[in-house]
Amino acid sequence: MLSRQETRKLLSRAKTLDCFLQRHILVSVSVRVVLMENGDSDEGYDSSLPVEKWCGDDRLYQWKGCWFRHQYLLGTRQVLDKFKPLPSDVILASFPKTGTTWLKSLLYSIINRSSGACLRSNHPHLLVPTLEVQLYGPRQQSFSNFASTGSSSRILATHLPRQILVDAVEPADCRVVYVTRNPKDTLTSFWQFVLKSSSYEEPWPLEMAVEKFCNGVVPFGPYYDHVLGFWKESLERPEKVFFITFEELKDDTKTQVKRLAEFLGCPFNGDGGEEEVVDEIVMSCSFEKLSSHEVNKSSEHSPWMRLPMSSFFRKGEVGDHRNYLNNEMVERIDAITVEKFHESGLMYGVN
């Protein structure tokens, strides 16, 4: 028979175990509830993956060195399983909020020698769909023209880091255009983008956004690993990976459009008529022009995200972080940027 002291110890351990189990069950349930509330099934949820709380009740899952929201992890696995790349494909790779929408417009216009008519009636994300979101994500859309094997180049976008994307496109050896942006402006734009999301009821404090960004716990992060993966690849294989910054595009869009055309194998020949085409592309793809189209001002939610179509156009400026980040935040991000980039030869993103 147990003594009174032994009985008390046993009861104490039982209560501790009960509390632990309750906490564990509540966390597991909360993760699954969030997934269901976001409109995404928890099918394929892998409890062995590292999990971090991100924004609101949302969680990120780490897989192959990258952090994913659940629906994009499912989409990524579908890309690796089902995507059949073609040698003629052009892949636009980017970290979120680094100029993706602008590059989609430019690449579409360069390859199709577009005068802007398509851009007036189609959102750039519908002209150049994102692999793990629109084509293979849980809310995937139908893009019948991307199933063709014709001679014209398909333009596809992705936020996947190099170490994952290479498994999807290496067999076809596609051309990749990678765009990046000053980390402080990237963070600011990303934070503003999240604030517009209808998925989160409570505002996301800027201090928390900075903390998560610096620790690399953001969708498709860490940012620095993402940039370095493509930067190093562009040095090793410049004929296949074109590395460009948002700031370079803003500084001289016309020159960069010509460089992109050369890389894509559809150069402008330099005569008067072609110069006019370049000027037309630069004008029709400018932030002012794109953001003025009704299709891009629409409050209607996109089919693939709970955000109005207008959310993809904010300011398109260089240095907007100065309006939001305090000196302490700037110094912290700059210090991390120097630490991460200095050995790579990429001296970029520091004031």
Structure tokens at 32: 């699954």
State the CB neighbour count (10 A cutoff) for residue 244: 18
Which residue in the block uniquely carries the two structure tokens 């629109």?
134
Strands (E), 134-217: 155-158, 175-180
Closest CA to 213 of 325, 99, 107: 325
Which residue in the block uniquely carries the two structure tokens 């998925």?
199
Burial (CB count <10 Å: 0-12, 13-18, 19+), residue 199: middle
Which residue in the block uniquely carries the two structure tokens 């200095």?
342
Rounded CA-CA distance 178/24 in Å is 41
User: Is 115 in contact with 280 (CB distance < 8 Å)?
Assistant: yes
Q: How far is CA 65 from the centre of its chain?
A: 15
State the DSSP string of 200-268: -SS---HHHHHHHHHHT-STT--HHHHHHHHHHHHHH-TTTEEEEEHHHHHH-HHHHHHHHHHHHT---
Answer yes or no: 24 catalytic: no
Closest CA to 223 of 168, 184, 167, 249: 184
State the DSSP string of 312-326: G-S---SSGGGGT--
Positive or negative, the Cα torsion across 34, 35, 38, 41?
Answer: negative
Which residue out of 159, 226, 293, 321 is catalytically annotated?
Answer: 159
- Active centre residues (catalytic): 159
